[in-house]
Structure 1
Amino acid sequence: MDYLAIAVALVVVTASSVAIHLLARARRTQPGNLPPGSLGLPVIGQSLGLLRAMRGDGGSRWIQDRIDRYGPVSKLSLFGKPTVLLAGPAANKFLFFSGALSTRQPRSVQRILGEKSILDLHGADHRRVRGALLEFLRPDMLKAYVGRIDGEVRRHLEENWAGRATVTVLPLMKRLTFDIISALLFGLERGAVRDALAGDFVRMIEGMWAVPVNLPFTAFSRSLKASGRARRVLQGITREKKKASQAEEEQGNGKASRNSDLITCLLGLTDGHGERLLTDEEIVDNAMVALIAGHDTSSILMTFMVRHLANDDATLAAMVQEHEEIAKNKGDGEALTWEDLSKMKFTWRVAQETLRVVPPIFGNFRRALEDTEFDGYLIPKGWQVFWTANVTHMDASIFHEPAKFDPSRFETENQRASAAAPPCSFVAFGGGPRICPGIEFSRIETLVTMHHLVRQFRWKLCCKEDTFVRNPMPSPLLGLPVKIEHRASS
C-alpha cells in the first residue's frame, strides 16, 4: 500500500507539474497574443501555395491576399518553420533595426550556402564578416574595378551580341555577371572550371526556396548536390590562393596583390594580434553569398531594364542621349571611369524604378532571438519573420500610381518623390545595418553594361506575352528573347 501511495503521489505531482507548465506556456502564447492566421499542415504549411503562386507570377498577389484577409501581421508556416509575415514601412523598420531579430535563414538556405555566411551571422560575428567584405568594397578599390568591368562587358558584347539577329537576354546577362564576379571575386580565369561553376550556381539557386525534403527527385536535393560541387571548387581556389599569398609574403611581395580579388583580400585580413580575421569556412561561405548577390541580382536587374526599354521609347531615348554625351569625351576604345559613372544619373534612376517594380529578391527572413512583440502581437522565440519588398513598392499610399514606370520618383531634387518614399519603403537592397554591402558594385556593373548596350544595339521583344515567373528570383518568359540590330553611330 505504501508503494502504491508513493506511486500515486508521484503521478499526481508529475501530472500537476506538466499541467502547470502547459498552462503557463499556453498563457504566454495564447491565440489572442499570436497574430491571426493558420500554420497549416506540419512541415509543408503554406510553402507549396506560396511557391506555386510565385512560379505563376502571383507571389505578390498571394501576399496581398493574406494582408487583405488577416492584416499586416499574420502567422503561417514556411519551409518547415512557424513564421510571422510583417508588412509595411513600420514593419520594415522593426525588421531592419530590432535587436530581438537575427537574419538566420531557413534551414534549406543554410544547408546550401553554409552556416558562416553573412546572411546567418549576428552581433560581433556579423560586424566582423561585414567589415571584411567592405574592405574589398572600399570606394578606392571600387574605382579601380570600373576599367576591369568595362573590359569584361566589351568582350561579352563582342562575343555574344555582335553579328547576331536574336539573343536571349537573361542567360547572357547571367553569364556576363558571372564572368565579372568570377574574375573580380575569385580571380578565376575563363575555362572549364568557370563553366562548371556557372551551371552549379544556377542549380543551387533553384532549390534555395524549396520544401527542404532531401529526396533524389526534388529541387532541394539537386541544389544540395550543386552546392557541394561549388563548395569544393571554392575550397580548392582558397587553398591555392593561400599558398600563393604565403609564397609572395616570403618574397616580400604580398601586399602588392593582396586586393587583387575577394578571396585573396579576405585571406590577408588580420586582427590587432596578427591573427587571421576569417576562417577558410567563413571565406568560402561568404564567397558563395557574394557570387549569388553579385551574379543574380544584377543580371536580373539589367534583363528587366532591357525588357522595359523595349516598350518605352521615351525612356530609352533619354538614356541613349545621356550615354552619347559621355562618349563624346572618350577616345576610341577608352574605358569608362568612376567619373563617367557619376554622370549616369538618369540611367541609375531607371535602374531604381526597375528594382521597385520587379525587385530581384522577393523577400527575406529574420529569426526571433527572444519573445518579442510588434503591433501588439507576440512573435515567439525561434519563429521566423518574413517580409517582402513588393508590399511597400506597390503601395499607392507610398508611391503615386505604383503600376506606372516613373524614374523621376528617384530624383533627389523632386519633392514629390521624396515625400512619396518615406524611410524603409524602397527596400530593394534591404535596410538598416544589414543593407546589402554590394550596392555600389551592383551599380557599377549595371551602369557600365547599359552604357555599352544602349549605344551599340537596338532591340525588340520576340514574345508578345509579357509575363515572368519567380524561382525564387524573377525570370521573363523564355529568358527574354529579343531581335537586335547594331546602331550605326556607335
Structure 2
Amino acid sequence: MVSAQLLALILALLLIIINLLTKYRKKHQRLPPGSLGIPIIGQSLGLLQAMRANTGERWIKRRIKKYGPISKLSLFGQPTVFLTGPAANKFIFSSDLLTPQQPQSLARIIGGQNMMELVGADHKRIRGAVSYFLKPEILRKYVGKIDEEIRQHLRTNWVAHNRVKVSPSMKRLTFNVICSTIFGIEQGTMREVLVKEFNNMLAGMWAVPINLPFTHFHNSLKASRKVRKLLTELIEKKRSALQKGECSSHEDLITYLLSLGADKGQALTDNEILDNVVLLMIAGHDTTSIVLTFIVRQLANDPITYAEVLNEQEEIAKSKASGEALTWDDLLKMKYTWRVAQEILRTIPPLFGGFRRVIKDVEFGGYLIPKGWQVFWTTSTTHMDESIFREPENFNPARFENQSGIPPYCFIAFGAGPRICPGYEFAKTETLVGVHYLVTRFKWRLCSKDDTFVRDPMPSPKHGLPAQIELKTFL
C-alpha cells in the first residue's frame, strides 16, 4: 500500500505543477498579440528585406493594422515586443525598467562595454565623459578644425571634378572629420585602412547573428577585429604620449578618456575606451553623412528651399574675410538651414528604430512584457503620423520654427529623455559647416532620374546620388 506520506508528497507536487501551469497560462494570455515565428530567425529576415526594398514603413504599418500598436515578435534572436506612439516612446526613453538593448549582431561587433549596453553607475560615468567632450562649450574650440577638414575634403574630391557620387563622398567627409576632431587621427595610412575596414564592419550590424563564413555578420566580425586592433595600437600611443607630457588630456576624446579618473584610481578600462570609440565612430559617421546626402538631394529637387538656404548662407559668407573659417557664432545664425536638416531627419531618419531590454516584468497598455525580452521602437510611427505632423509626406521646414509646438516624444531622430544622443551638437555643427560650403561654393544637379533609396540598415541612395557639379568660387 502507498503510504500516506507518499500520497501527500505526490499531491503537493501536483498542486505545485498545477499552480505553475496556471501562472504560465495567465502570463501567456497577458502577452501582446502576435507570433514569435521560427526560433532565432523570427521576423528578422522579413523586416530586413522590407528595409532593403525601402518598404520598412509599410511593413510596420501592416503589422500595426493586423495586431494594433502593441505586438510580440522575434527579432535578431530575441523575443520582442513592438511598441508605437508618443506614450510608448516616453515609456521606452524614460522608464527605469528598460535598459538599452542592441541586436546581438551589433553588440558583438561594437563590444559589450559601449554606453548603449551599460546601465546604472557605469553608464552614467561613461556617458558623462563623452557628453562633456561633445557639449557646446568644448565644441566651440573645434569649429575651426571641422571647417578646415570639410574644406580640405571638398578641395580634394569636388574641386576640379565635374561629377561626384554624393553619398560615398559625404560618408568619407564625415569619417575624416570624426577621425581628426574626435580621435586625433590625421590623414595617412591608418585612416585609409580604418575607413576600408569600418565600411566592411557596418555591413552586418543589423543581421541574424549566425557566424558562418558566407554571412554578412561573419565578415563584419572579421572587420571589427581589424578595426579594434588598429584602435588599440592608437590608444597605446596616446597613453604613452600623455605619460611623457607630449600631448594634453583635452587634445581629443581618446586622450580625455585616458585621463579621466586616473588621479582617483577610477580610470576607464581599455575595453571601455575602445568600445565607446567604435560606437562614436559609427554614430558620428552615419547620422551626419546621411543628413548631408539627403540635404543635397532635397535642394536639387526643391528650388524654394534651396533659395532660402543659399540666401542665409551667402549672408554669412559676406561677413567673412577670404579664407576665414566659420565660428560658433556663425553657426547660431543658420536657423533656417538647421530647420531643413531637422525636416530631413523627420522624413528620412538615419535610424529606422532601436531596442531596449526589460529588466523585470513590466506592464504597458494592458499587456505584460516579461523580464529579459526586448522592446522595439521605430521613428516613422510618430514622424509620419498626420495627427502629430500635418501632411507628413510634405517637406516643410516651417514645422520646426516653434519647437515647443511639437509634442514631446514625437520627434525622436536623436532619441529622447535621459538617453538622448550625446553627439547631437557635434552632428549639428558638422552638418551646418558642410551645408555652408556646399551651397556657397558649388552648384549641382542630379544625374540620375532614380534618386530613391534603400535601407541596409541606414538609408542610402540606390546609385550613390551622382551629381553634376560646378564650382562657383574657390574654397
TM-score (norm 1): 0.93
Aligned-partner Cα distance in 2 for 1:425–1:410? 13
Would you say 1:330 and 2:328 are equivalent positions?
Answer: no
Query: How much does 1:105 deviate?
Result: 1.7
Q: Deviations over 1:114-158 (max 9, x none)?
A: 001011111111111110101211322200110000000110111
1:262 — aligned with what?
Answer: 253
Could you tell me how far 1:228 is from its partner in structure 2?
Answer: 0.9
Give CA-to-partner distance per residue, 1:405-430, whole Å, 9 cap, x none.
00010002xxxx744x2000000000
Which range is displaced more, 439-448 or 185-194?
185-194
Choose from 144, 156, 160 the match for 1:147.
144
The equivalent of 2:422 in structure 1 is 437
**What is the rounded CA distance, in whole Å, between the counterparts of 2:420 and 2:336 in structure 1?**
23
Give, in whole Å, the separation in 2 of the partners of 1:199 and 1:22. Answer: 54
Could you tell me which residue of structure 2 aligns to residue 447 of structure 1?
A: 432
Output one character per residue of 1:253-304: Cα deviation in whole Å (capped at 9) or x when no partner: 76xx211111001011117x62244111100000011111111110011001
Is 1:486 aligned with 2:467?
no
User: 1:440-468 CA deviation, whole Å, 9 max, x = no partner?
Assistant: 00011000010000011111111111311
Distance 2:282 2:91 in 1: 26
Q: Does 1:381 align with 2:371?
A: yes
C-alpha distance in 2 between matches for 1:232 and 1:71: 46
Q: Deviations over 1:67-95 (max 9, x none)?
A: 11111111111001110000011100000
CA–CA distance in 2 between the matches of 1:226 and 1:185?
21
- Which stretch shifts more, 421-430 or 182-191? 182-191
The residue number in structure 2 matching 1:422 is 407
Distance in 2 (alpha carbons) for counterparts of 1:244 and 1:418: 47
- Contact 2:299/2:305 (8 A) holds in 1: yes
Q: Counterpart of 1:24?
A: 23
Q: Is the 8 A contact 1:185 1:287 kept in 2?
A: no
Letter of the 1:106 partner, please give it: P
**Contact kept? 1:409, 1:418, Cα under 8 Å:** no
**What is aligned with 2:455?**
470
Equivalences, count = 475
Instruction: Write the deviation string for residues 16-36 of structure 1: whole angstroms up to 9, x where unpaired.
Output: 544433332332x222x1111
Contact 1:104 1:121 in 2 (8 A): no
Give the aligned CA root-mean-square deviation in angstroms.
Answer: 1.9
User: Which residue of structure 2 aligns with residue 72 of structure 1?
Assistant: 69
2:451–2:465 CA contact under 8 A, matched in 1: no
CA distance in 2, matches of 1:97, 1:78: 23
Question: Are residue 229 (structure 1) and residue 247 (structure 2) matched?
Answer: no
Identity %: 56
Q: Which amino acid aligns with 2:256?
A: C
Question: 2:85 is matched with which residue: 70, 84, 88?
Answer: 88
Moved runs in structure 1, 4+ residues, more than 3 A? 4-20
SS at match of 2:22: helix
Stretches of structure 1 lacking an aligned partner (at least 5 in a row): none
Equivalent residue, structure 2, for 1:180: 177
In the alignment, which residue of structure 2 is the partner of 1:193? 190
2:36 corresponds in structure 1 to 39
Match of 1:397 in 2: 387
The amino acid of 1:315's aligned partner reads T
Aligned counterparts of 2:309 and 2:75: Cα–Cα separation in 1: 41
Secondary structure (helix, strand or coil) at the match of 1:458 reads strand
Q: If the length of structure 2 is used for normalisation, what is the TM-score?
A: 0.96
2:280 maps to 1:283:
no
Letter of the structure 2 residue corresponding to residue 366 of structure 1: R
| Contact 1:73-1:86 within 8 A present in 2 as well | yes
Structure 2 stretches lacking a partner, 5+ long: none
CA contact (8 A) 2:317 2:440 kept: no
